[in-house]
Amino acid sequence: MAASPYAELFTLLDITGEDAAECAHLLDTPPDEPVLRAMTVLRERLGTFPVDSIRVDGDVQDESTLQEESTAQNDGAVETVWIEALLRFAPSVHAYHLDLGIDSTVSAASLADLGLQLRINRRVHGHFGLDTWAWLTLHMAGNLFRLGRLQFHLVPAEGQDSDWVLGVHIPEDGGLSPDLVDASFAEARSFFPQSFPDKPARIATCDSWMLDPYLVQRLPESNIASFARRFTLDRCTDAPTDAIYFTFRHRGLEGLDKLPRETSLQRVVLERIDDGGTWQLGHGHLEL
């Protein structure tokens, strides 16, 4: 059997199985006008260090609201357009990374989030799709990298012309043991000064439901609490569905009685809502 013409691309993006077959189908015909327009937007952002994701209307949005809003924004046609655009544009991002002297393995690890998100979508919805496509537009700007356990997003500091920060994100596919997190931060402290010497970042920030103080109080010995305690908490904002989505990959607050309560984390997430509480997004920082 002849090798797929997309084998190299799918290896780069860690796209496998049924998702690979669906992606190949999208790539088997020339891109239509909506896909070309999406690729133009991606091309204009590459190397500009954007903070925000692309929205359906061409505007941008903060990642903290991305997961909650994406279902309302997306229909199948829009989602398919962006899947194809991401697939077709990924080699340009990989080439951009290599031109900067970034190791190909780091580039591939960073872009492999596309394959991971496709698998999550199939697990959650039971079919091919990418309802988190807007999140992947950050990767395609060339300034978000997977270094070990964590992802780091190099962006200008808010309100500053010359200062830079690393936004920290936590991929789903693994634990948060202190050793893994230590290694990831150690790699970031080496990688960014070497790859972007003109953009020194002294602060890392994290906006996550995992930094909600309630979680640290209820599960003080957990790896999540250990991770949260690394950061100085600056403020909290209400994010009622984030903990539900990231714990269960369940949208909204309906049907919570059908969700499992098998782990201590699952129980804590649901019991807070049962008791009338609201999960929050913790916004924290640490010095690199």
pLDDT digits 0-9 by tens, 13-55 = 999 999 999 999 999 999 999 999 999 999 999 999 999 999 8
Alpha helix (H) residue ranges in the chain: 7-13, 17-27, 33-45, 63-73, 76-99, 104-111, 113-125, 133-139, 178-195, 213-218, 223-228, 242-248, 264-274
Torsion of CA 54, 56, 60, 64, to 10 degrees: -90
Rounded to the nearest integer, the mean pLDDT of the chain is 91
Query: pLDDT at position 4, please?
Result: 84
Query: pLDDT at position 63, please?
Result: 36
> Distance (Å, rounded) from C-alpha 183 to C-alpha 179?
6
Number of other residues whose CB lies within 10 A of the CB of residue 110 = 22
CATH number of 149-288: 3.40.630.120
> Distance (Å, rounded) from C-alpha 102 to C-alpha 123?
32
Range of 3-7, 156-160, 199-203 with top mean pLDDT: 199-203
Percent of the chain with pLDDT over 90: 86
Among all chains, which residue has been given the structure tokens 């999540």? 224
Separation in Å, CA 285 to CA 37, 94, 212, 252, 256: 37, 29, 13, 28, 32
Asked whether 268 and 218 are in contact (CB, 8 A), the reply is: yes
Domain edges within the chain: 1-142, 149-288
Query: pLDDT at position 127, please?
Result: 95
Query: pLDDT at position 68, please?
Result: 39
Instruction: Kindly give, in sequence order, each residue whose CB lies less than 8 Å from that of residue 88, ignoring residues fewer than 6 positions away.
Output: 27, 31, 35, 39
Query: pLDDT at position 55, please?
Result: 80
Query: pLDDT at position 147, please?
Result: 98
Residue 57: pLDDT band (50, 70, 90) is low
Residue 74: pLDDT band (50, 70, 90) is very low
- The DSSP 8-state label assigned to residue 3 in this structure reads P
Measured in degrees and rounded to the nearest 5, phi and psi for residue 21 equal -65, -40
Report whether pLDDT(1) > 70: no
Q: Mean pLDDT across the stretch 242-261?
A: 91
Nearest to 228 by CA among 206, 201, 203, 202: 206
> Distance (Å, rounded) from C-alpha 67 to C-alpha 251?
9
Q: Mean pLDDT across the stretch 178-201?
A: 97
Asked whether 16 and 76 are in contact (CB, 8 A), the reply is: no
Beta bridge partners of 125: none
Query: pLDDT at position 72, please?
Result: 40
Helix axes 113-125, 104-111, angle to 10 degrees: 20
Number of other residues whose CB lies within 10 A of the CB of residue 65 = 13
Report whether pLDDT(188) > 90: yes
The answer to which of 21-35, 45-59, 140-154, 161-175 has the lowest mean pLDDT is: 45-59
pTM: 0.90
Query: pLDDT at position 76, please?
Result: 80
Residue type, 243: A
Sign of CA dihedral 76, 77, 82, 84: positive
Asked whether 137 and 42 are in contact (CB, 8 A), the reply is: yes
- The DSSP 8-state label assigned to residue 59 in this structure reads -
Report whether pLDDT(107) > 80: yes
pLDDT tens digits, one per residue of 191-250: 999 999 999 999 999 999 999 999 999 999 999 999 999 999 999 999 999 999 999 988
> Distance (Å, rounded) from C-alpha 242 to C-alpha 250?
9
Asked whether 124 and 163 are in contact (CB, 8 A), the reply is: no
